[in-house]
Amino acid sequence: MSLYLLLSILPALYLLGVQTAPLTLRSPQKRTQGRTWKDQSLLWMQHQTTKGFLNAPDSKNPPRCGVPDFPVSPDSSNGHNRKKRFVLSGGRWDKTDLTYKIIRFPWQLSKVKVRRTIAEALRVWSEVTPLNFTEVRDGRSDIIIDFTRYWHGDNLPFDGPGGILAHAFFPKTHREGDIHFDYDEAWTIGTNLGTDLLQVAAHEFGHVLGLQHSSVSKSLMSPFYTFRYPLSLSADDKLGIQYLYGPPQPPTPPPTIKPEPKPTESESNEIPSSEPDACSTDFDAVSTIRGELFFFKSGYVWRLRGGKLQTGYPALASRHWKGIPEAVDAAFEDSVGNIWFFYGSQYWVFDGKLQASGPLQVSDLGLTVPRVQAAFVWGNDKNRKTYLFRGYEYWRFNPDTRLVESGHSRSMADWRGVPTSIDAVFRDEQGFAYFLRGLYYWKFDPVQVRVLEGYPRLISQDFFNCPVTSSSANSLR
184 is in an annotated binding site: no
Q: Which residues contact 248 (CB under 8 A, 6 or more apart)?
A: 126, 127, 128, 129, 130
Each residue of 434-462: pLDDT tens digit? 999 999 999 999 888 899 999 999 999 99
Each residue of 212-268: pLDDT tens digit? 888 887 889 887 777 887 888 989 999 999 999 999 887 666 666 656 555 444 444
Picking from 310, 318, 307, 322, the residue whose alpha carbon sits closest to that of residue 429 is 307
Q: Where in the chain is the domain with CATH 3.40.390.10?
A: 14-20+35-74+81-245
Each residue of 286-314: pLDDT tens digit? 999 888 999 999 889 999 998 898 888 88
**Under CATH, to which class is 285-474 assigned?**
mainly beta
Picking from 210, 56, 58, the residue whose alpha carbon sits closest to that of residue 143 is 210
207 is in an annotated binding site: yes
Q: pTM of the full predicted structure?
A: 0.44
CA-CA distance, 380 to 44, in Å (whole number)? 36
160 is in an annotated binding site: yes
97 is in an annotated binding site: no
Each residue of 116-170: pLDDT tens digit? 999 999 999 999 999 999 999 988 999 999 998 888 777 778 878 877 788 888 8
Whether the Cβ atoms of residue 171 and residue 179 lie closer than 8 Å to each other: no
| Annotated active-site residue in 204, 267, 393, 405 | 204
284 is in an annotated binding site: yes
80 is in an annotated binding site: no
- Whether 326 is a known active-site residue: answer no
Considering the chain, what percentage of its residues have pLDDT values greater than 70? 73
**Under CATH, to which class is 14-20+35-74+81-245 assigned?**
alpha beta
Picking from 399, 58, 438, the residue whose alpha carbon sits closest to that of residue 281 is 438
